[in-house]
A and B are shown apart, each in its own frame.
Chain A
Amino acid sequence: MARFVLSRALKAVLTVWIAITSTFFLLRLLPGDPTTLMVEGDMTPEMQAALLKTYGLDRPLWEQYVSYLRELVQGNLGISFRQIQPVVDIIVDRLPWTLLLAGTAFVVTVAVGIPIGVAAAVNRGRWLDRALQALGIGGHALFVPSVAMLLLVFLGARLGWFPIGGAIDPDTRGAAAYLSLAHHLVLPVLSLVLVQLGPYALTLRTNMIEVLGEDYIRAAQARGLSARRRVWKHGLRNAILPALTLMGLQLGTLVGGAVLTETVFAYPGVGRLIFEAVGQQDYPVLQGAFIMLAVTVVFANALTDMFYAVLNPRIRL
C-alpha cells in the first residue's frame, strides 16, 4: 500500500509541475502583454518599458521561468500586477468560497445521484429511468451560465426565495451569518448540481444494471437475501467504483463550472478572480489561481485513487 501511495503522490507532483509549466508558457504565448490593455491610456513607450521592467517581463522567457519556479518552491506566487499584493494572499481570500461551492455541489451530486441512479437501475424502463436518461443527456447539453441565470430570474427575482448574487449578507453575525451563507449558496450549488447530476446518476445506473446481472447477485438471491440487501450491500459496493472515478474526473469540470457560476452569481471565489485577471492579463494571479486549482483537482484525484484502492484491493496489485 505504501508503494501505491508513493507512486500516486509522485504522479500528482509530476502533473502539478506540468500544469505549472504549461500555464506559465501558455499565458506568455497570448498576444500582447499586460501593458497592451493599457494602450488606450496615454502611455509612452518609455512608460511601457518601465512597467515591463517592474513586472520582470523584459527578461528572457527561460530566466523568468527559472525565477518563477525558484520563488514557487519557497511558497511565493509573486505579486499581482494590478493589485500590488502577494498573489498568495489574494487567492487565500478567495479559495475557501470556491471550495465551499464546488465541495457542496460535489457532496449534493453524490448524495442525490446515488439513490436516483440505483432507483433507475432497479426500475429499468419505467418513468424514473426514462426521466433520468433525459436528465443525463440534458445535463451534457446544459450551459452553466444559462441555467444559473434562469434560476436567478425565477427563484430569485420572480419568487423572491433566494438573494440575487453574493455569498453572504455582510451585516449578519454568528448563527445568522451561517444561515445567510447557506441561503446564498442554494442557487449556485443548484446550478452546478443540475448540470452534473444527470450524467453522474446515469453512469451509476448503467454500472448498477451490469452488476445486478452478475452471478454473485443471482447467488445472493438464491441464498434468500432481500432485494434491499442485494442492491444496496452487494450491488452498490461494486457499481459505485467506476462512478467514484468519474466524480474524481468531474471535479475538474466542477471547478471549471464554478468560474462561470461565480461570475453570474457574483460569488467571490477563485473562478471570479480568474475571470477578472484574464481581462487584465494579470499573469501572477492567473498562474497562482490555475496552480491552486490544479493542485486541488490533482489532490482530489489522488485521494479518489487511494480511496478506490481501499474499497477495491485489486487495484493495489
Chain B
Amino acid sequence: MRKTVKGRWRLAVALGVAATLGISGCSLNEDTGSSTTSTDGSVLRIGTTTDVSNFNPLQSLSKTDSWILNAMYPHLLRIDENAKKAPELAKEYRYEDGGKTAVFVLRDDFTWTDGKPVVADDVKFSAEMIMKYKLGNVAAKLTWVESIEAPDATTVKFKLSQPYAPFAEGVGFWMSIVPKHVFESAGDLSKFPNDSNWVGAGPFVLDSITKGQRYVMKRNPNYPLAPGGKAAVSQVEYRVYPDVNTMMLALRNGDIDLMGTPVPVSAVKTFQADSNIKLVKVGALGFAHLTYNMKNKQLADQQVRQALSMSVDTKSIISSVLQGDGQQMAGPISPIFSEYDNTEIQPYPFDPAGAKAKLSAAGYKDANNDGFFDELAFGVACDQSNANITRVVQLFRESAAKAGIKLENECVERNTFLSRTKNGEYDIDASQWGVFDNPMDQLRSTYLSSNPGGINYNLLESPEMDHLINDAAATTDPEAFKAKIKNIDKVVHDQAYLTPLYVENFQFAYNASKFTGFVPSPSDLLGMVTAYSLAQVTPAK
C-alpha cells in the first residue's frame, strides 16, 4: 500500500507537470499572421498599455487601438504639431452651395497594400457604412449628411442638411478610410472583427500578432507622405505593458524604443539623467475643469458660480499637482486653439475674501456662525482613479472653505462616477475632457440643451447659448466664425458655467540613440505615434 500511495504521488506530479508544459507548449510562439522577423532596415518597438480590443477601425473607440489602426487606415486630415488640421489623404477641402456641400479632393498616389488605388469610392463607402450601422464616434459627426457623391476617383462630396462649419475638420480627422473591395464582402460591419489578412494604406500594416504580447507591423512599400515614398523604419512592433512602471523599465532596459503612453509627471525626473532617453513635451487637446450643475438651485446663481471660480487657486494647483507642467485657462477654449481663444478674458483671480464678500452682497447668510454660508454646501464628484483631479478636489475643498463654501469630496470609482455624471447626480463635476479636435464640436457637445454628445455636464438649457452656438455652427466665413467662437468663450466665462483648471502637458520618452525624426502632435491620443509621425522616423546615425 505504501508503494502504491508513493506511486500515485509521483504519477500526479508527473501528470501535472506534463499537462502544464503541454498546454503552454502547444501554443508556444504561434503567431496569428505571417512571418515575424524583419529582414532589412530597423525595427521600432513601441510600448502600449493594452491589447487591441477591436481591429475594425470604423467601430473601435479605444485610444490604444487607434495607435495601431491609424497607422494602417488613412484619414482625410491629420492634426499637426500646432493642433491645426493638415492634409493627409485629402490634399484640400472646401465648402460649396453656401456651406451645404463639403468637398474633399483626394491625393491620387495612395494605394492599398494589395495594389489597388485608394479612391473616392472608398471614402464614400466608409462614411455610408458608419451611418448605416451607427459605428464608433464618427456616426454622430455625420448627422448632417443627406447623401454622399463620388463624381470621380479623387473627389468626394458630402451633401449636408444644413451648413455646419467644422464638419469637414471633424469628419476629416476622425474617420478612418477602409478598402471598399475588402470590407464590402464582410456584410454587417458592426459584426466584422477584421482580425486577419489586413489590407491598409497607411505607412505600416499589421502582419502578425502574439496576443497579450506584441503586434508586428510591416512597412507599406508605398506611402507618399514618407520621405522617399516609404517609411525609413522597416517594421514597427507594439509591445504590451499594462503597468506604466514596467513600460518605463523596459525603455530604460532597451526592450522598447518609445513609450506610446505619456510618462507620469512624478516619473519624469527618472529619465532626465539618462543620456539615451529624450523627453518630448506636447500640449493637450482637452483640459481639466470644474463644471456646475445648473439644476442645483444655488449653482444656478451666477454669483455663486463666480464666487466658486474665485475660490480655486489654479496657479497653486498647476505648480503642486502638475509640478508646473501645465497652462492656465480663462474660458472654455483651450489656448492650444490660438485662433479661437479669446485672449481678452482673464481667469477669475484667486480671492476667497472677495468671493465671501460677493456672496454676502448677494444675500447669502451664515446664521449659525459656523464659518459657512447656510445654503452653500456642495458635493464635488470625480473619478478617483485620476490622481491629479482627486488632489485638485482636496485643494478646492480647502480653499472654498475660506470663502465660506462647504464642499464634500465625492470622488468615487470610475464607472460609478461616469454613471453619476450621465444621470446628472452631482453638484459639481471635477473631471478632464479628453480630446476636442475643434472648438465648435466642443461647444455643441458641452452647452447645447439637446446635449448631442451626452457631455453637457452643466445640464444647461439656455435659449441664448443654443442660439449663439447654432448661429456660429452655420457660419462659413472663417473670420466671422472665429469671432463668434470668441464671443461664446467670453459668455461662458462671464456666466462661469465652468471653472477651467489647466491644460496639461504630456511628456513622451524615446530612445534618441536609436531613432529620431518623430513629429509629435498634441494629446495622449496622438502624441508620437500618429501615422505621419511614424512615417518620418529614421534610425539614428
A interface list, Cβ under 8 A from B: 30-32, 36-48, 50, 54, 80, 82-85, 93-97, 99-100, 103-104, 107, 145, 149, 152-153, 156-157, 160, 163-168, 170-173, 177-178, 181, 263-269, 272-273, 275-276, 279-281, 307, 310-311
Contacts and interface: CB of A to CB of B under 8 A. Distances in A.
B212 A268 contact: yes
Contact of B249 (A83, A152, A275, A276): A152
A139 to B, nearest CB: 22
A268 B242 CA distance: 10
A87 to B, nearest CB: 13
A289 to B, nearest CB: 13
Interface string B403-418: 0000000000011101
A31 B415 contact: yes
Interface stretch (B47-55, B146-154, B370-378): B47-55
B193 A85 contact: yes
Interface in B23-48: 23-29, 31, 36-37
Q: Which 10 A-B pairs have the closest CB atoms?
A: A268-B212, A32-B419, A41-B137, A42-B140, A31-B419, A82-B53, A31-B416, A96-B23, A100-B24, A164-B250
A140 B17 CA distance: 28
Contacts of B242: 263, 266, 272, 275-276
The interface centre, meaning the residue of B12, B190, B420, B422 with most chain A CB atoms within 10 A of its CB, is B422
Given A263-B242, A275-B242, A168 B253 contact: no
B211 interface: yes
Given A42-B137, A152-B246, A163-B255, 7 more contacts: A80-B53, A84-B193, A164-B255, A181-B24, A268-B211, A268-B240, A276-B51
Contacts of B212: 93-94, 97, 167, 267-269, 272-273
Interface stretch (B338-346, B448-456, B458-466, B526-534): B448-456
B445 interface: yes
Contacts of B275: none
A203 B16 CA distance: 24
A166 B213 contact: yes
A263 B49 CA distance: 10
A41 B243 contact: no
Given A54-B190, A263-B243, A84 B134 contact: no
B328 interface: no
B16 A103 contact: yes
A39 B455 contact: yes
Contacts of A177: 28-29
B255 A47 contact: no
A120 B415 CA distance: 48
B249 A170 contact: no
Contact of A83 (B23, B24, B193, B422): B193
Nearest to B418: A36
B388 to A, nearest CB: 17
B213 A170 contact: yes
B211 A41 contact: no
Contact of A107 (B17, B140, B433): B17
B269 interface: no
B191 A84 contact: yes
A45 B454 CA distance: 8
The interface centre, meaning the residue of B36, B240, B246 with most chain A CB atoms within 10 A of its CB, is B246
Contact of B134 (A38, A50, A104, A172): A50
A124 to B, nearest CB: 27
Interface string B178-201: 000000000000111101000000
A58 to B, nearest CB: 15
A85 B240 CA distance: 20
Contact of A32 (B415, B433, B441): B415
Contacts of B137: 38, 41-43
8 contacts: A36-B418, A41-B453, A44-B454, A107-B17, A156-B249, A163-B255, A275-B242, A276-B51
